[in-house]
Each structure stands twice: as structure tokens, then as C-alpha cells.
Amino acid sequence: MKLGLLLRQAPKLHVPPTLSRLSISPTLRIHRLAPTSSFHRPHRRQHEQIYYRPLTSQTQPPSSSPRPTKEASEKKPTIRENIYTLPNFLTLSRIAACPVLGWAILADDFVLATGLLAYAGITDLVDGFLARRYSMQSVLGTILDPAADKILMTTLAVTLTMHGLLPLPLTVIILGRDVLLSLSAFYIRYTTLPNPVRHSIAC
């Protein structure tokens, strides 16, 4: 009797509802209260670092370089070569001497013709040396120099044949050789050129 009265008079302990529910199904309640990551993921150490890969390179489209506008291309400085050089003047003087050489041969003035031939040979050597030695090469010079040689050779062959000093078959061979070489050079140059690049404008 006294034990029963003491148990009735003893203050009742306040048990939280969560603990009272644990008595019914402790395994299920503990699984609900604890975070799922603590059961399935191992604990990382404090010194371990996590590196995340940025997603900006995957989400952003590749940036295309802007095409230069017409105004920007016009503002670029153009490189111009100097054509007023001493080698070019020497080559032009050799071309100008060809008609005088032909007239001297037809007029039987072989002294003048010999002097003009010597002048043509010397200037042909000097203009090439000056262009290479002092960096005076130009596109115009590369065109004028072989043209001067062809004009000089044609003038000599034609005038000597007209004067009766050179047989006609030999003149045909000399001139035909030069013509074939010129045509083959143009053909090789045409076949070795790269294909033109065409830019399509997207509408």
C-alpha cells in the first residue's frame, strides 16, 4: 500500500512526444530524425577540399570573332613599295636603248650597236647587284628585268635577220623558244595559284 501511494504521489516526468514515439519504432524514428546524408555519405575530413567545375564554359555558346567591317578595313594602312629606285631606272634605260640598237644595226653603225650591247650587259649586272645589296627589290623590278631581256633579244634577232646577218630558221628558233618559255611560265603560274576564298553572308 505504501509503495503504491508513493508511486501515485511521485511527480510525473514530462516526456517529449518525439521520445515517446521512439519507443514504438526506434529504428524508423531514428532514421527519420537523422539526416539521410549521415547514413549514405561518408564523413569528409576537415582538410579535404572539394573542387567544383564551372559551368559557364558549357552553358555559354562559343564566341565567334567579329568580322571586320568595311570601315575598319579601309582604315588599315597600306604598305607601298618604292618603285623609284636606281635598279628600276637602269632597267628602264636598257629597254629604251633597244630601239636605238635596232636602228644602229640597220644603219650599219656597228660601233654604236656594240656600245649599246655592252651598256645593256653592264646595266643588267649592276641593277641586280644593287637590288640585292641594298634591299631595293620591288615587284616592278621583277617584271621589268626579264621583260628588258626579252625585248633586247627580239630586237637583235629581228634586225640582224632583216640585215641578212642571221638566218631566218635560227631567228624562228630563238623567238619560238622565248614564246614557249613565256607561255609555260604563265601556265605554271595559273595552275599553281590557290583557289579563291569565298565568304558567304548569312541572312
The pLDDT-based confidence of 69 (bands split at 50, 70, 90) is low
Answer yes or no: is 3 within a domain.
no
Answer yes or no: is 31 within a domain.
no
Q: How many domains does the chain have?
A: 1
Cell of 40: 549514405
Compute the distance between CA of residue 156 and CA of residue 113 in angstroms, rounded to an integer: 10
59 has a pLDDT exceeding 60 = no
Compute the distance between CA of residue 142 and CA of residue 147 in angstroms, rounded to an integer: 9
Angle between helices 86-106 and 110-133 (to 10 degrees): 170
Answer yes or no: is 35 within a domain.
no
Answer yes or no: is 102 within a domain.
yes
pTM to 2 decimals? 0.56
Tens digits of per-residue pLDDT, 127-157?
999 999 998 999 999 999 999 999 999 999 9
Answer yes or no: is 98 within a domain.
yes
The pLDDT-based confidence of 200 (bands split at 50, 70, 90) is low
pLDDT on residue 5: 56
Answer yes or no: is 29 within a domain.
no
